[in-house]
């Protein structure tokens, strides 16, 4: 949804600044009066309560809302609006007496019994199987009863229908050993899902490479060795989760259309498609979108991209994280500004803390608090007070100001993520590659967004001039065809090795790479490939150790002795960069060599295709950035230049890649700029964005002219109000 379409929502959904307060049974009632007076004094405008299924649904026909009723009244009395957040992953004590077969079943056939975890202290985690029909009816009944009970309360602002969607807690780190759910209800639903996808059994057999003679013979995937069946299995559960989100949001819409509805995720840079979390699918039905996050670019870029034009909030800032063994940090304004301001600069429209009073129950105690366990202030309390006192007069204007639409996309396909889990046993390398490009683009001031595999297949690339495909080994035919059309129409593609080498539509590794017909269409081919671990320096004559620096000589000597994850590439400009993990020899008609490993054959090429350009890398520069980001940074700058994309505000830092600038526009008028430096010393930054800039926190006054630089101190972080000259 374009930015202009969100303006109608701007008036309905306020800029938020507040805190989570109540996850029964804490804080206890004797704390409430004092805490609400203090929250009002801090200037907060919103407070969040968790509505827990186990706590508030005491018997099949008995609901307990006494505590929440009093808290709602307290919020109203102290001019605070309320966000009610459902926790349905804590099953009521009576649930499995009524539905004894509703429990989740793991990959080994073991029933997952309800248990206590640190953030679900009342027990009942992880709740029932999402596909059990009786448990579904009871969830629906509880959610409906809650909405009907509170919808008329004057303090109510928003319904948050799902707290951090995930299939079950052990799945946060993907592992076959604790994967769910393999119950009979999931099997029945999965067979229906497969029939809709493949139609006849012959279609499934052809793609999976099986010889089933009836649907009853189809086995639930319990291994990753043939990819497509396992990807289908996780996609089925991803669709189950999306369906769960849809009915929750629809129930609120029907029963209480007057109040906004959404859910909040942990961004996909943390939670994964393997564990059945998909930000894009979850955001689709929301009126606004939100997340648990901090100020790392990867987190808010995932959320804003999935929201795709919707108002987005941070409804669980974890700036105060900690545990019994590691108490939370002592934070001040110098810690708050570089965490909060990048979120506002990216377009996030409010921050809600987790949580107000430090925890006292379980392993999360005594951390997470804006105040101490006794309710008295910490240094972070006063920093937050000062922050909001400074931002609050500008909140209405900030609510209406947005960054310019991104011209760069970074592909993140959930199918490809599950594929990489199959091949590598985890998703770390997949995430590292994506995060490396986000980091490079962010600190070079190139606005960008994540593009889902479904968006690519549907051709939803409007406004993008450059698309980056990290680790794009798996693609469907529809995705590859869409990519081909987009490039030929004028798009610039920067792709890593083995693009579309595995065809998800046929369930086969392609015979030529890039696959799915792209090699033939583009005239670029991987003529041979191997793992970087098989390479040896003796295979190359491209490097002169005597001409290299001592650090390069040392690295080359180590690499030549044993190979490894990283390997050297000599670029056409003479510089030395490092590739990682994969190595492919490239060839093609009229290709321009940009880099080589062996001094003879290119492993990075550029070619004009139709009206567009393909920059194809026979390695993974995203993974190589862990060792040295020079190669990735060079290619990003080359690709952005090919796409004629300029950095935000024309920002050029004296210390390259250390200053980030966001400009927030109201219509076409620049209203605010967020400027953050991660440099350890002062530097000069040139800005082409005109106007008079005034720092709300530092008081700095700038008048950029594109020529004379601005002196920026080390660690600078501020939001600048922009006025016309």
pLDDT at 466 over 50: yes
Q: Which pLDDT band holds residue 3 (cuts at 50, 70, 90)?
A: very low
Q: Which pLDDT band holds residue 543 (cuts at 50, 70, 90)?
A: low
DSSP E strand boundaries for 575-691: 576-580, 582-588, 592-596, 602-609, 612-617, 652-653, 659-666, 669-677, 683-686
Provide CB contacts within 8 A for 100, sequence distance 6+.
none
Enclosing H/E stretch for 542:
none
Predicted pLDDT at 1: 36
pLDDT at 545 over 90: no
Compute the CA torsion angle 391, 396, 397, 402 (nearest 10 deg).
Answer: 100
327 to each of 20, 364, 371, how far by Cα in Å? 19, 9, 13
Predicted pLDDT at 10: 74
Strand 502-503 and strand 508-509: pairing?
antiparallel
Higher pLDDT among residues 5 and 469, named by residue: 469
Are the CB atoms for 418 and 273 separated by under 8 Å? yes
**Mean pLDDT computed over 94-116:** 96
Average pLDDT, the chain: 95
> Side by side, which strands form the sheet with 710-712?
652-653, 683-686, 710-712
Backbone angles phi, psi at 58, to 5 degrees: -75, -25
Does the predicted TM-score (pTM) go above 0.85? yes
- Distance in angstroms between the alpha carbons of the first and the last residue of the chain: 33
Q: Which pLDDT band holds residue 552 (cuts at 50, 70, 90)?
A: low
Percent of the chain with pLDDT over 90: 91
Buried b (16+ CB within 10 A) or exposed e, 311-329: bbbbbbbbbbebbeeeebe
**Three-state helix/strand/coil letters over 625-656:** CCCCCHHHHHHHHHHHHHCCCCCHHHCEECCC
Query: Smallest Cα–Cα separation from 401: which of 57, 95, 719, 43?
Result: 719
Domains and CATH numbers, the chain: 3-175+242-399 (3.20.20.80), 408-642 (3.40.50.880), 649-723 (2.60.40.1180)
Burial of residue 373, with CB atoms counted within 10 A of its CB: 0-12 exposed, 13-18 middle, 19 or more buried: middle
Predicted pLDDT at 694: 98
């Amino acid at each position: 949804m374009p930015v202009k379409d969100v303006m109608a929502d701007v008036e309905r959904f306020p800029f938020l600044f507040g805190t989570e307060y109540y996850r029964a049974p804490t804080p206890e009632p004797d704390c409430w009066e004092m805490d609400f007076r203090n929250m009002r004094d801090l200037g907060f405008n919103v407070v969040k309560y968790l509505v827990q299924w186990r706590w508030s649904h005491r018997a099949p026909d008995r609901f307990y809302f006494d505590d929440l009723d009093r808290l709602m009244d307290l919020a109203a009395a102290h001019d605070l609006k309320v966000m009610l957040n459902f926790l349905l992953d804590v099953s009521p004590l009576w649930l499995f007496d009524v539905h004894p077969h509703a429990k989740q079943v793991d990959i080994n056939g073991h029933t997952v019994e309800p248990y206590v975890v640190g953030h679900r202290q009342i027990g009942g985690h992880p709740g029932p199987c999402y596909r059990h029909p009786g448990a579904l009816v009871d969830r629906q009944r509880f959610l409906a009863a809650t909405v009907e009970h509170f919808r008329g309360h004057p303090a109510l602002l928003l319904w948050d229908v799902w707290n951090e969607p995930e299939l079950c807690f052990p799945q946060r780190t993907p592992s076959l050993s604790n994967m769910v759910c393999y119950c009979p209800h999931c099997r029945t639903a999965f067979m229906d899902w497969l029939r809709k996808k493949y139609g006849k059994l012959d279609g499934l057999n052809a793609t999976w490479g099986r010889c089933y003679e009836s649907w009853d013979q189809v086995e639930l995937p319990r291994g990753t060795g043939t990819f497509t069946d396992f990807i289908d299995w996780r996609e089925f559960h991803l669709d189950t989760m999306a369906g769960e989100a849809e009915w929750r949001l629809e129930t609120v819409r029907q029963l209480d259309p007057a109040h906004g509805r959404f859910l909040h995720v942990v961004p996909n840079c943390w939670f994964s498609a393997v564990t059945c979390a998909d930000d894009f699918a979850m955001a689709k039905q929301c009126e606004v979108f939100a997340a648990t996050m901090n100020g790392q670019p990867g987190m808010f870029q995932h959320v804003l991209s999935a929201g795709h034009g919707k108002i987005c909030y941070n409804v669980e800032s974890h700036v105060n994280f900690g545990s019994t063994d590691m108490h939370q940090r002592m934070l001040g304004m110098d810690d708050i500004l570089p965490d909060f301001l990048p979120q506002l600069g990216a377009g996030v429209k409010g921050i809600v803390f987790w949580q107000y009073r430090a925890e006292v129950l379980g392993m999360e105690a005594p951390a997470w608090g804006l105040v101490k366990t006794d309710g008295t202030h910490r240094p972070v309390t006063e920093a937050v007070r000062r922050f909001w006192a400074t931002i609050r007069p500008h909140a209405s204007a900030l609510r209406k100001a947005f960054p310019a639409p991104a011209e760069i996309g970074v592909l993140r396909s959930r199918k490809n993520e599950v594929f990489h889990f199959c091949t590598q046993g985890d998703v770390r390398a997949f995430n590292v590659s994506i995060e490396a490009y986000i980091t490079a683009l962010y600190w070079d001031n190139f606005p960008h967004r994540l593009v889902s595999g479904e968006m690519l297949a549907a051709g939803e690339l409007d406004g993008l001039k450059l698309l980056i495909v990290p680790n794009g080994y798996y693609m469907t035919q529809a995705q590859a065809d869409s990519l081909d059309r987009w490039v030929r129409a004028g798009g610039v593609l920067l792709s890593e090795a083995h693009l579309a080498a595995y065809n998800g539509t046929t369930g086969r590794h392609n015979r030529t790479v890039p696959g799915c017909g792209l090699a033939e269409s583009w005239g670029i081919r991987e003529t041979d490939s191997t793992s970087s671990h098989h390479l040896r320096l003796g295979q190359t004559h491209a490097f002169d150790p005597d001409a290299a620096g001592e650090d390069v000589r040392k690295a080359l000597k180590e690499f030549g002795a044993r190979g490894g994850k990283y390997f050297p590439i000599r670029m056409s400009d003479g510089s030395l960069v490092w590739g990682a993990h994969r190595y492919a020899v490239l060839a093609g008609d009229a290709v321009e060599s940009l880099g080589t490993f062996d001094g003879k054959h290119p492993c990075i090429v550029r070619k004009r295709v139709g009206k567009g350009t393909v920059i194809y890398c026979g390695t993974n520069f995203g993974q190589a950035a862990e060792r040295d980001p020079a190669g990735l940074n060079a290619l990003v700058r080359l690709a952005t230049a090919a796409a004629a994309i300029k950095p935000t505000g024309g920002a050029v830092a004296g210390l390259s890649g250390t200053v980030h600038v966001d400009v927030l526009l109201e219509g076409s008028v620049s209203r605010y700029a967020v400027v953050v430096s991660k440099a350890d010393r002062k530097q000069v930054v040139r800005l082409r964005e005109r106007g008079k800039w005034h720092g709300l926190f530092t008081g700095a006054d700038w008048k950029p002219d594109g020529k004379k630089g601005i002196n920026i101190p080390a660690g600078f972080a501020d939001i600048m109000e922009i006025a016309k000259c």
